[in-house]
Every structure is written in C-alpha cells, then in structure tokens.
Amino acid sequence: RLPDGNVFAIAVGAHYQLNKAFGFDAGYQHLFTKDGEINNAEVVGAQTAYVNGDTKNTANLFSLQMTVNFGTA
C-alpha cells in the first residue's frame, strides 16, 4: 500500500580500510512503521464486498560494499 504511513528508522554502518586500495563498508537499517487499518466496502451489482483488516509492517535492510581505488601506490 503506497504511500505508506509514518516511518521511524534506526541505522548503523561501519567502514574498514584493508589497505590503500581496498575498503569495505557494511550497513544495517531497521524501519518501524505505524500499524494500519483497512476498512473498505465496494458495491458490485446487487452485493456489497467488504475488506477489513489490520496491517503491521517492518523492514530490515542490510548492505555490503567493497571499494577499490585504482592507481594507488
């Protein structure tokens, strides 16, 4: 469902430089979203269809990166 609701995020990351040419990055982010509610009624012909429910959403994002510097002595 887009657009979503209010989102609160916590993130952390780190970098490690192996030598002048190679570096590594890692990151993590957790997204907290407000619980949602779905209340929908739609008339189809002579009948009404109801869709009701609750939503709970979270997301965990992980990232890895390697950096290469060419031409470093």
Tell me if 16 sits within 8 A of 24, measured CB to CB: yes
Three-class SS state of 20: coil
Q: Is residue 1 a part of any domain in this protein? A: no
1 pLDDT above the threshold of 50: no
* Environment class of 39 (CB within 10 Å of its CB; exposed 0-12, middle 13-18, buried 19+): exposed
Q: Which domain holds residue 19?
A: 7-68
Q: Is residue 2 a part of any domain in this protein? A: no
Q: Is residue 34 a part of any domain in this protein? A: yes
pLDDT tens for each residue of 5-64: 788 899 999 999 999 999 999 999 999 988 888 888 888 888 998 888 888 888 999 999
**Count of structural domains, the chain:** 1
